[in-house]
Structure 1
């Protein structure tokens, strides 16, 4: 569920206050949650890949149960996809995680875009109300 405009403004104010109060601490926190999450996801995918290999080998040894090999292969494939996508999404240390809309834009440009969207919304509401 996305944050409301008021909540976004409050969050930005809190972030600015944190940077003003303790910039070293703020930069240490920046992106660490996402980095930890994606690293954990990659590790889980590697473990799942190894389980898939074990299932594939077990299915090959017991030739009567072919479906175990197929399941093992599918588990390996799914975990490989998760590991690769998780690895690509992980921000590098010191890098700020990019947002969903235009990671290369500065906060000033984002704010002005949000202001334009808010103005359009207000105009539409005013036109419908009168």
Structure 2
């Protein structure tokens, strides 16, 4: 350890042990905070994709996410304020919705490709289309 500090971290070589103990405590508290945020994200992930699916189905701009979900005031009054706070943690921004819809589309493409690869036969149906001048 001493050689490592002398070769890689010369500025930290003469620091007292208490300095490194404080750094360790700081790191552990950060890990706890990250774990709490990750748990919230896991719980919010399914509703987030459900809202993104609704937006994709109606074909409206991604900014209507707040209108498609239950208003926080209703949940706060009907259930409890803590549950309403959980709703506020679901990211409903335009970029977030766009990214989720794109993820679902990529997943759909992947599943379709896998089904085509696994099938022994498939067909493609083509339709002749014409322009305004009635040319193919």
Structure 1 and Structure 2 fold alike (TM over 0.5): no
Largest Rg, 1 or 2: 2
> Which structure has more RCO (C-alpha within 8 Å, separation ≥ 6)?
1
